[in-house]
């Protein structure tokens, strides 16, 4: 524990040391003798480009951000793909959009080369062009420290991990910037780059249909160009006041609840940078001064200097003839923000992974990406926010956590039980607390007696205890659906799994549907196509399905649910594993209630043991093993197998994907028009 506690401090110290070293290596006068005209050349090309299309300035500024946040300011973002070294352009936030900005950088580079051959790096050209973009659109100027060299390898995998997306909350934004040695004030200032540029409908649809902290008039206006489905590529200005002027209009928008992206409005949402946003909204000079200083700090992230890297002659390809493979591994170790679990050398993202990355909407600052269409009505929760109870019940999370901690300490199985309740609630008409309702004869039959719940659903008394604790603190305020969502998150964390910010603001259904429970909850005998279809019907992808199935890393199942699998019903079962289970669960009848762990490796620890078991054909349920065919099935599940192998070998990636999928599942909502309330007793309507 002590070692783990020192590690973040050590990483921060190294980051600061690297930044100090970068400052010592870079200098505004670096080319004063070797290429004194470089600034004039870059300025001339940028001036013409911005005159022709003001959006060119925003595009170049965005490119500089994307370069520096991924592997440092080394022009790796400019590299084209090669068979040996796939670049960053085709990944996530870089995969969608016009390529004209790269043509513009090529034009600048060509003119600089004509003046000073093989002298000025592409990384420095991009840094100067970003500064000129800001200034030409009415913003500040600053002396750009120069002397960067160009990368010999791209950082493809870091694109999707290091660039915060349009749905990022304030804690994720602060953490992402802190990992680069940038403060929360830097975050607030650099986000002001959104005073210019546009974003696609796909990146802000959820905000204007779902967020509670959005100006109604602003949301209504944006919905005209961004319908609930379709029109993903339609553009809207990030700053609706002065979209093509670099000023402080962006911050005035935030104060008015008119931030276009969810991540924008997070800067002004009762959080740690509210006061800075208010300052910038009223004081344009303070913003300009801070933005210039923060841009210099951004430009100091991980530059290659001295004899490292190279000066490319063509920004799209290496000049040295190296293909990037040899130097990639060595290069990654230079950057503090990449000190995390790396993919094995040579491993590429599979197509399913890349599709999921693109669909996740990881866009950074001036980004725009096409997303899967989303509607907040009839299936996706409207008005959810991680700070929904910030004023009305600030103690809600600690109240639920304390009850869950006691419950899990008394019986570790209870964590799995509460997590299962949340799944079973959300998959039946949305996350509305309907699974918690008792039957009320003669007129009302709830979901507790449905096939998947009868005799196996448990944890209701823990939810009751959590609700009672919350009611004592904040009467008639927090829904049972939200209590269950928080309890599920805490159950995972208390058993060693990830945590995440839970979106809140759900209401409780006044009714339930046993028929829907029987129809919507996949059973233990489900096939892979059936599982995929069931999750797709909820707007969840194959990757979501696989990650969420990892909840079976904790908990038990009854003999009746796996008898057929271990008694000759399945061919893809480990013989030793099946023989062991047959002693507990014999063929024929009897012993239906006997329990076996879903993850025999670490049954009460939330880890990736479940996926390791699947690769050994030791999935307890038929539906579990369907996720991994082991190369069989005529290629039917080759990409599915690859994802299971990935999770089996990379616990961190599973944890990240599970947390994201839990947030998505938690967004499932009752159909529009469903009668709802905040129940005082989770077992019955008010």
Q: Would you call 424 a catalytic residue per the annotation?
A: yes
| Long-range CB contacts (within 8 A, 24+) of 280-285 | 280/188, 280/189, 280/192, 280/248, 280/251, 281/248, 281/251, 281/252, 281/254, 281/255, 283/248, 284/247, 284/248
Q: Give the H/E segment covering residue 209.
A: helix 201-210
Neighbours of 24 (CB within 10 A): 9
**Does 54 show up as a binding residue in the annotation?**
no
**434 assigned ligand-binding residue:** yes
Q: Are 251 and 277 in contact (CB under 8 A)?
A: yes
Report how far residue 434's alpha carbon sits from residue 451's, in angstroms, rounded to the nearest whole number. 15
Flag whether 264 is marked binding: no
Residue 21 in marked binding region: no
Q: Is 303 annotated as a binding residue?
A: no
432 labeled binding residue: yes
Block residue for tokens 């200097």: 305
State the burial class of residue 560 (Cβ atoms within 10 Å of its Cβ: 0-12, 13-18, 19+): middle
- Three-state SS at 25: helix
Cα–Cα distance, 113 to 35 (Å, whole number): 10
170-to-198, 267, 541 alpha-carbon distances in Å: 21, 6, 26
- Both tokens of 416, joined, read 């799995």
Tokens at residue 58, please?
A: 């925003």
Task: Tell me whether residue 425 is annotated as binding.
Answer: yes
Q: Is 602 annotated as a binding residue?
A: yes
Separation CA 191–CA 264 (nearest Å): 8
Measured in whole angstroms, the distance separating CA 186 from the mean position of its chain's CA atoms is: 21
Options 66, 337, 424, 622, the catalytic residue: 424
Instruction: Classify 89 as helix, strand or coil.
Output: coil
Could you tell me which residues come within 8 angstroms of residue 215 by beta carbon, excluding any fewer than 6 positions away?
256, 257, 258
Binding-site sequence positions for substrate: 522
Binding-site sequence positions for heme b: 552
Active site residues: 424
Binding-site sequence positions for Ca(2+): 425, 428, 430, 432, 434, 447, 553, 599, 602, 607
Binding-site sequence positions: 425, 428, 430, 432, 434, 447, 522, 552-553, 599, 602, 607
């Amino acid at each position: 524990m002590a070692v783990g506690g020192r590690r973040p401090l050590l990483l921060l110290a190294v980051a600061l040391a690297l930044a100090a070293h970068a400052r010592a290596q870079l200098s505004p006068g670096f080319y004063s003798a070797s290429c004194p005209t470089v600034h004039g050349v870059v300025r001339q090309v940028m001036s013409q480009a911005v005159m022709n299309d003001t959006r060119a300035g925003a595009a170049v500024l965005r490119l500089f951000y994307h370069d520096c946040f991924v592997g440092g300011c080394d022009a790796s973002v400019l590299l084209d793909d090669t068979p040996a070294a796939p670049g960053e352009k085709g990944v996530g936030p870089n995969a969608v959009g016009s390529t004209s900005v790269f043509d513009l950088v090529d034009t600048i580079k060509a003119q600089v080369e004509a003046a000073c051959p093989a002298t000025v790096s592409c990384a420095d050209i991009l840094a100067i062009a970003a500064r000129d973009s800001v200034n030409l659109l009415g913003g500040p100027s600053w002396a750009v420290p120069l002397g960067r060299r160009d990368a010999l390898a791209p950082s493809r995998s870091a694109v999707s991990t290091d660039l915060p997306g349009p749905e990022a909350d304030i804690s994720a934004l602060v953490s992402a910037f802190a990992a680069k040695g940038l403060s929360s004030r830097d975050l607030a200032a650099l986000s002001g780059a959104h005073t210019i540029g546009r974003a696609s409908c796909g990146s802000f649809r959820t905000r204007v249909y779902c967020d509670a902290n959005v100006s109604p008039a602003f949301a209504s206006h944006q919905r005209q160009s961004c319908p609930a489905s379709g029109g993903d590529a339609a553009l809207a200005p990030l700053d609706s006041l002065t979209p093509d002027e670099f000023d402080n209009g962006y911050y005035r928008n935030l104060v008015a609840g008119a931030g276009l992206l969810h991540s924008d409005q997070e800067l002004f949402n009762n959080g740690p940078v509210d006061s800075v946003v208010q300052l910038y909204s009223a004081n344009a000079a303070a913003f300009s001064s801070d933005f210039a200083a923060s841009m210099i700090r951004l430009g100091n992230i991980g530059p290659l200097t001295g004899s490292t890297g190279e000066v490319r002659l063509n920004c799209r390809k290496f000049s040295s003839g190296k293909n990037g493979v040899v130097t990639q591994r060595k290069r990654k170790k230079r950057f503090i923000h990449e000190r995390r679990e790396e993919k094995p050398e040579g491993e590429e993202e599979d197509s399913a992974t890349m599709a999921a990355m693109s669909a996740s909407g990881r866009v950074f600052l001036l980004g725009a990406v096409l997303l899967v269409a989303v509607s907040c009505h009839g299936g996706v929760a409207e008005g959810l926010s991680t700070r929904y109870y910030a004023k009305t019940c600030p103690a809600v999370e600690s109240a639920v956590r304390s009850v869950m901690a006691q419950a899990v300490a008394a019986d570790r199985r209870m964590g799995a039980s509460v997590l299962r309740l949340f799944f079973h609630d959300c998959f039946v008409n949305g996350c509305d607390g309907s699974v918690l309702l008792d039957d009320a004869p003669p007129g009302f039959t709830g979901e507790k007696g449905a096939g998947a719940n009868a005799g196996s659903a448990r944890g209701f008394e823990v939810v009751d205890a959590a609700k009672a604790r919350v009611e004592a603190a904040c009467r008639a305020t927090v829904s049972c659906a939200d209590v269950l969502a928080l309890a599920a998150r805490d159950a995972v964390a208390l058993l060693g799994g990830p945590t995440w910010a839970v979106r809140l603001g759900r209401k409780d259904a006044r009714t339930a549907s046993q028929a829907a429970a029987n129809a919507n909850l996949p059973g233990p005998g489900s096939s892979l196509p059936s599982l995929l279809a069931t999750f797709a019907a909820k707007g969840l992808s194959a990757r979501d399905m696989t990650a969420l199935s990892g909840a079976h890393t904790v908990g038990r199942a009854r003999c009746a649910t796996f008898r057929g699998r271990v008694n000759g019903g399945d061919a893809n079962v480990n013989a030793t594993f099946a023989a062991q289970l047959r002693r507990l669960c014999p063929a024929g009848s009897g012993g239906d209630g006997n329990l076996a762990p879903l993850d025999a490796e670490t049954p009460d620890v939330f880890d990736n043991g479940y996926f390791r078991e699947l690769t050994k054909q030791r999935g307890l349920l038929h539906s579990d093993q369907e996720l991994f065919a082991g190369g069989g099935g005529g290629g039917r599940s080759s990409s599915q197998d690859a994802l299971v192998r990935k999770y089996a070998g990379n616990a961190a990636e599973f944890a990240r994907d599970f947390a994201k999928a839990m947030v998505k599942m938690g967004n499932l909502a009752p159909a529009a028009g469903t009668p709802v309330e905040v129940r005082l007793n989770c077992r019955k309507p008010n």
